């Protein structure tokens, strides 16, 4: 067989031809080396080399540790903690003083009768909730210390519940305190007229001064005192901040409930006013030794 070459199509070095092309003078066929540029390996052009180098550089950068660090999302900035005010930011008035004394007496009587079951087992709030929703404990601690008798110090103060309010937040705390002296609850009441009292004395009985701390006709019934706390022993009770909020860039406690171990000059005045207005029973928180007017040493 002979290859047929069409005159109108001249073969060049890059023209298509069969790889098995018979040679002149031979009856068989054998492989013929393909023309240059068709079957053999091609030399990379400049553009292909540039693309290859770019892909290789991208792969090396992806494996580099610094590149991985740059790809990590940035950590969101932490919220700046709002500072706390340790000053006395609560309002003070005679009306509030009398209301606090009445509440203190009511809650103390309730505690003496029933206690506060479940308080010791109550769990402290989550630290993240405390940081986000509540004032720092330092502000609450300073406020509670102002609502305690002077011999009483705070061991610990933990938030165990809170409530969002339109004007801020209310918080319940579990307080653990100790006293350097024994503390007693002493009832104060009007002294009844003894039987067979002479008429002249009976007429002025209600005007007689029996106790320097109380109005005429009243006395502290030391015989029925109740020891609330022994010196050095821990005392656990619930205390509530009624309203706290951020004011002028600071957490401020604007209103707090009286504590069970609160006693001050204002409460002395409230006790006197309650008895003057006919209250049948008032209470006093006193330490040992009791004042001479309350019976002196125990």
pLDDT at 75: 57
Q: Per-residue confidence at 5, pLDDT binned at 50, 70, 90? A: very low
Q: In what order do the strands lie in the sheet with 235-247?
A: 152-165, 168-179, 235-247, 250-256
72-81 in b/e form (b: 16+ CB < 10 A) is eeeeeeeeee
pLDDT digits (tens, 9 = 90+) for 51-63: 677 777 676 666 6
pLDDT tens digits, one per residue of 92-136: 999 999 999 999 999 999 999 999 988 989 999 999 999 999 999
Is 24 a residue whose pLDDT tops 80? no
Please give the mean pLDDT across all residues of the chain: 82
Q: Per the structure block, which two tokens stand in for 162?
A: 């809170």
Question: Rounded to two decimals, what is the model's pTM?
Answer: 0.70
Would you say residue 297 has pLDDT above 70? no
Give SS3 for 71.
helix
Residue 148 structure tokens: 């305690």
SS3 content of the chain, % helix, strand, coil (to 5): 30, 25, 45
Out of 64-73, 162-171, 281-290, pick the least confident: 64-73
Kindly indicate the confidence band of residue 64, based on its pLDDT and cuts at 50, 70 and 90. Answer: low
């Amino acid at each position: 067989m002979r290859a047929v070459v069409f005159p109108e199509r001249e073969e060049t070095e890059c023209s298509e031809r069969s790889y098995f092309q018979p040679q002149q003078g031979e009856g068989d066929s054998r492989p013929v080396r393909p023309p240059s540029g068709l079957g053999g390996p091609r030399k990379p052009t400049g553009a292909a080399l540039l693309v290859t180098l770019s892909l290789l550089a991208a792969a090396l950068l992806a494996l580099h540790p610094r590149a991985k660090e740059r790809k990590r999302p940035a950590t969101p900035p932490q919220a700046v903690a709002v500072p706390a005010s340790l000053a006395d930011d609560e309002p003070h008035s005679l009306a509030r003083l009398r209301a606090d004394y009445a509440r203190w007496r009511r809650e103390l009587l309730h505690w003496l009768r029933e206690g506060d079951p479940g308080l010791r087992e109550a769990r402290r709030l989550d630290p993240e909730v405390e940081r986000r929703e509540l004032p720092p404990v330092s502000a609450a601690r300073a406020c509670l210390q102002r609502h305690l008798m002077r011999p009483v110090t705070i061991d610990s103060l933990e938030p165990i519940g809170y409530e969002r309010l339109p004007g801020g937040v209310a918080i319940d705390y579990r307080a653990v305190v100790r006293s350097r002296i024994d503390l007693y609850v002493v009832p104060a009441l009007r002294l009844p007229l003894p039987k067979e009292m002479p008429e002249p004395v009976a007429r002025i009985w209600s005007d007689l001064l029996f106790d320097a701390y109380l109005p005429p006709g009243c006395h502290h019934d030391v015989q029925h005192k109740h020891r609330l706390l022994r010196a050095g022993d821990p005392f656990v009770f619930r205390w509530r901040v009624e309203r706290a909020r951020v004011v002028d860039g600071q957490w401020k406690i604007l209103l707090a409930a009286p504590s069970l171990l609160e006693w001050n000059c204002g409460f002395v005045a409230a006790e006197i006013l309650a008895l003057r207005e006919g209250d049948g029973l008032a209470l006093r928180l006193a330490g040992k030794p009791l004042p001479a007017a309350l019976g002196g040493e125990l």
